[in-house]
Amino acid sequence: MNPGEQPSRKSQPLVELECLDELWFQVSGTLCNLSCTHCFISCNPKNDSFGFLDLETVRGYLTESRALGVKEYYFTGGEPFLNRDMLPMLEETLQLGPASVLTNGTSLRENTIADLRRIALRSSYSLEIRVSIDGYDAAMNDPLRGKGTFAAAMRGVDQLVAAGFLPIITMVQTWPDERTLEVFTHFSGELRRRGYSRPRIKILPTLKIGMEESRTHGYLPEERITAEMMEEFDPNDLLCSHSRIVTDRGVAVCPILIEAPGAHLGKSLADSLQPFPVVHSACYTCYLHGTICANTGATLGTDR
């Protein structure tokens, strides 16, 4: 197949939504205070191609999610804490079920963390805070995420730990596989040294779309899921078989593909329950690595 060519409709591998277990919210759209060079959806301080979600919108989808039996709620962006309704959104969500928020941790204010603590303690469900840091020091992280971002994000981690959270540090793997254990051990040691006694680290594969496509390279033409590849494959390993994401344009298939053609499935969750053709290049990464976006799976970090 030539680059950019789509497989014929007949050979398109379709993935059914088995159950809507994870509901994501793109709460700050594509707006972020950082401009990471490997961002798979090109988020930056000026990219408003996707906008903020308001509390009322989130509330509507939360209500709809109950009848569908949604198990977990995730909040992402952009940088979610740019949305001034982030805290009330989390508070209302945590009345229904567990919530996770994916932040770069660089702009967390003391009063925000105090509010997060209050919200977390008040709920019987878990509030997970995931902080993106892409290296164990500034030399490794800052070329990807921007000057000074390592120090700023680690300050955020320090504050979260002091407030009683066990943040999950997510790192995009920009190093060869053989270095993974060393990177993990080094970062784990650094976190411990700073007082995070039981660090949780999750390593993610790069997604070669968005900014990352120009930083390194995109997917090769043969890096696509075919219908044949789906035979004998458990579709449950693909995020699209059990999740959807709410954006300001409606509901899309998954957090990775919001900018992809055909990824938007309708206005309501009910509209979005249709099967999805996993013909996009980034689907190949999900096929190889499993459900990479969820909290569990591909997590490192229990070295006592």
Partner 1 sequence: MSRRDAQRRIALFGGVYSNYLALAEAIGDARRRGAQELYCLGDLGAFGPHPDRIFPLLRENEVRTLAGNYDDSLARGLEDCQCGYTDPRDNHFARISYRYTFENTSKENKEWLGKLPREIRFEMAGKRVLLCHGSPRRMNEFLWESTTPNHFLEKLLHDHDSDAIFATHTGIRWSRKLPGDKLFANVGVLGRPENDGTQRVWYSFVEARDSALEVTSVAVNYDHPSLMREMRAEGLPDEFVETIETGWWTTCLEILPVKERLRGRW
Give residues in contact with partner 1 (CB under 8 A): 19, 65-72, 96-98, 124-128, 164-166, 181, 184, 198, 200, 236, 295-304
Minimum Å gap between C-beta 98 and partner 1 is: 4
Residue placing its CB nearer to partner 1 in the complex, 29 or 97: 97
Nearest approach in angstroms of CB 211 to partner 1 is 26
Q: How far is the CB of 177 from partner 1 (least distance, A)?
A: 12
Sequence-ordered list of residues with C-beta below 8 angstroms from that of 29, at least 6 positions apart, any chain = 48, 49, 50, 51, 52, 53, 77, 78, 247, 248
Backbone angles phi, psi at 276, to 5 degrees: -125, 135
Closer to partner 1 by Cβ: residue 30 or 93:
93
Q: DSSP for 198-219, please give it.
A: S-EEEEE----STHHHHHS---
Q: Name the phi and psi angles at 300, rounded to 5.
A: -120, 155
CB nearer to partner 1: give 2 or 124. Answer: 124
Minimum CB distance to partner 1, residue 301 (Å):
6
The smaller minimum CB distance to partner 1, of residues 214 and 302, is found at: 302
By beta-carbon proximity to partner 1, the closer residue of 35 and 185 is: 185
d(CA 29, CA 249): 10
Nearer to partner 1, 6 or 299 (CB): 299
DSSP one-letter code for 143? H
Q: How far is the CB of 125 from partner 1 (least distance, A)?
A: 5
The residue among 164 and 195 lying less far from partner 1, judged by its C-beta, is 164
- Cβ proximity to partner 1: between 70 and 140 the closer is 70
How far apart are the C-alpha atoms of 102 and 284, rounded to whole Å?
A: 23
Q: Quote the tokens at residue 155.
A: 């300050």
Q: Nearest approach, Cβ of 296 to partner 1 (angstroms)? A: 6
If you count DSSP H runs as helices and E runs as strands, how many of each does the chain have, helices first? 9, 12
Residue 216: CB minimum distance to partner 1, A: 24
DSSP strand pairing (127-132 vs 200-204): unpaired
Nearest to 134 by CA among 224, 216, 39, 264: 39
For 93, half-sphere exposure in the C-beta direction (CA atoms, 13 angstrom radius) is: 30
263 SS3 class: coil
Rounded distance between C-alpha atoms, residue 33 and residue 36, angstroms:
10
Instruction: Tally Cβ neighbours within 10 Å of residue 126.
Output: 14
Closest distance of CB 101 from partner 1, Å: 12
Strand pairing report for 127-132 and 276-277: unpaired
